[in-house]
């Protein structure tokens, strides 16, 4: 199979996440062997600055970044995800969502079906994010040895969980014997979304978390369709929870926490094209209902005319879990994966429209500080101010 020539794209810096808008990138996959045999033509072109994608002759869309088919896994990670891991270590929640039709490269991009023998160049977002997280923690731990004002991180405060949503039931992929009926979505005292019944795994090293990723991936639900022999039939969410304590001789201590959702959505699809019948057809209906609910949330949050109105997070378990990620306390990036083949023109157009709406969503990310430790530090500061005054007053009285 010959590889088409693509315009050289400028190497852009990482996507900035300083403001609150959801960031959206597009990643195009090349024609696969079957599409070449079927004489499919490419119907997607790209701007050299890496910001614009053109579908067909005149359907133009602008995003935060557009990756052409020759873009390496490392480049996608550097531009889209590396800043989010840095933010997460600093105490911000973060989310990466891969969206697109069946067979568009979502799972490859995310690395949520990681092969232990994959080469470095094939590693997806998940294993790279896990590695960067532990490198950052080790770096902060090293710095803390020389400056007591820096974070002193204990790896026992890093946990992870891995769930899938299949036919509107939540399955704990790290504890597959847990009944789905025992898992529920709730809000804690701070209003954060939690999965009651899902067990977090304490992970102390990069290798520990990679084992969790590989174990959970092995239990994920897949199935064969006309569009993809190994199609993901569920939405998969891998979450890293990080809690850090700062030990300061002058200002007491502070606890910050963050969660990082890495989401590999099931493929959007039309039943006629996938040849889905029986259980596969039921799966397709449920998948599309979940993605429709997600689209409704994106529309409600992204349309300025609808801001302030009801957001239908409760329409599906997917949108409920991602409530913090869309319109809430999180720095979020959506990666829309598209096919370049003309036979997939309509699916690609729908994906680009879907992703374009997400760019208008405004989140409200904040550093997650433990309220008790903040209050305790404030009281300590007040004592520091008042104690000298009491000493002076006592001296004057003498």
Mean pLDDT on 271-280: 57
CB 267 within 8 A of CB 100: yes
Q: Are 26 and 355 in contact (CB under 8 A)?
A: yes
Q: How far apart are CA 351 and CA 336, in angstroms?
A: 7
How many angstroms separate the first and last alpha carbons of the chain? 94
Contact 102, 268 (CB under 8 A): yes
Residue 228: φ, ψ to 5°? -160, 120
Which pLDDT value is given to residue 2? 44
- Packed helices 73-80 and 82-89: angle between N→C axes, nearest 10 degrees: 40
Q: Which of 196, 193, 78 minimizes the C-alpha distance to 65?
A: 78
Digit-coded pLDDT (tens) for 364-376: 999 998 766 555 5
DSSP string of 76-109, one letter each residue: HHHHHTHHHHHHHHTT--EEEEEEEBTTSSHHHH
DSSP label at residue 176: T
Which of 78-87, 217-226, 238-247, 389-398 is most confident? Answer: 78-87
d(CA 288, CA 266): 9
Q: For residue 98, is pLDDT > 90?
A: yes
Among 19-23, 132-136, 306-310, 321-325, which stretch is predicted with the lowest mean pLDDT? 306-310
Are the C-beta atoms of residues 368 and 309 closer than 8 Å to each other? no
Task: Specify the 3-state DSSP secondary structure of 75.
Answer: helix
Query: Residue 268's pLDDT is what?
Result: 79
- Residues annotated within the binding site for ATP are 100-107
Check whether 95 has a pLDDT greater than 50: yes
Rounding to the nearest 10 degrees, give the CA dihedral for residues 143, 146, 151, 156.
Answer: 80
112 phi-psi bin (left φ>0, alpha ψ -120 to 50, beta other): alpha
Closest among 380, 92, 86 to 256, alpha carbons compared:
92
Q: Tell me, what's the pLDDT at 230? A: 53
- Greater confidence (383 vs 174) lies with 174
- Give the percent of the chain with pLDDT over 90: 62
Query: 3-state SS string over 312-353?
Result: CHHHCHHHHHCCCCCCCCCEEEEEEEEECEHHHHHHHHHHHH
Question: Which residue numbers belong to the known binding site?
Answer: 100-107
How much is the average pLDDT of 98-123? 85
Helix (H, G, I), strand (E, B) or coil at 40: coil
């Amino acid at each position: 199979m010959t590889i088409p020539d693509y315009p050289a794209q400028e190497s852009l810096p990482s996507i900035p996440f300083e403001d609150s808008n959801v960031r959206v990138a597009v990643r195009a996959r090349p024609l696969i062997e079957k599409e070449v045999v079927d004489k499919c033509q490419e119907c997607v072109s790209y701007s050299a600055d890496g910001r614009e994608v053109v579908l067909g002759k005149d359907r133009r869309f602008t995003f935060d970044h557009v990756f052409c088919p020759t873009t390496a896994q490392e480049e996608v990670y550097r531009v889209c995800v590396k800043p989010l891991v840095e933010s997460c270590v600093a105490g911000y929640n973060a989310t990466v969502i891969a969206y697109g039709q069946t067979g568009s490269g979502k799972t490859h991009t995310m690395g949520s079906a990681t092969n232990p023998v994959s080469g470095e160049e094939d590693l997806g977002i998940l294993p790279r994010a896990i590695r960067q997280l532990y490198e950052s923690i080790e770096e902060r731990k090293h710095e803390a040895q020389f400056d007591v004002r820096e974070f002193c991180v204990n790896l026992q405060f890093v946990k992870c969980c891995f769930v899938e949503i299949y036919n509107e039931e939540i399955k704990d992929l790290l504890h597959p014997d847990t009944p789905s009926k025992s898992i529920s979505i709730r809000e804690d005292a701070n209003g954060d979304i939690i999965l009651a019944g899902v067990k977090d795994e304490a992970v102390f090293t990069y290798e520990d978390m990679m084992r969790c990723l590989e174990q959970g991936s092995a239990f994920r639900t897949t199935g064969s369709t006309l569009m993809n022999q190994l199609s993901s039939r569920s939405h998969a969410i891998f979450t890293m929870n990080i809690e850090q304590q700062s030990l300061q001789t002058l200002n007491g201590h502070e606890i910050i926490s963050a969660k990082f959702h890495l989401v590999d959505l099931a493929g959007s699809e039309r039943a006629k094209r996938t040849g889905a019948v029986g259980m596969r057809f039921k799966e397709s209906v449920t998948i599309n209902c979940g993605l429709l609910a997600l689209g409704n949330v994106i529309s409600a949050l992204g349309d300025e005319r609808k801001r302030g109105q009801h957001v239908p997070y409760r329409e599906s378990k997917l949108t409920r879990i991602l409530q913090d990620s869309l319109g809430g306390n999180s720095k979020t990036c959506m990666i829309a994966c598209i096919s370049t083949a003309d036979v997939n023109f309509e699916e690609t157009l729908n994906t680009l429209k879907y992703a374009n709406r997400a760019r208008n969503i405004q989140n409200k990310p904040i550093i997650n500080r433990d309220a008790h430790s903040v209050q305790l530090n404030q009281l300590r500061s007040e004592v520091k101010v008042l104690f000298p005054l009491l000493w002076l007053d006592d001296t004057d009285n003498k």
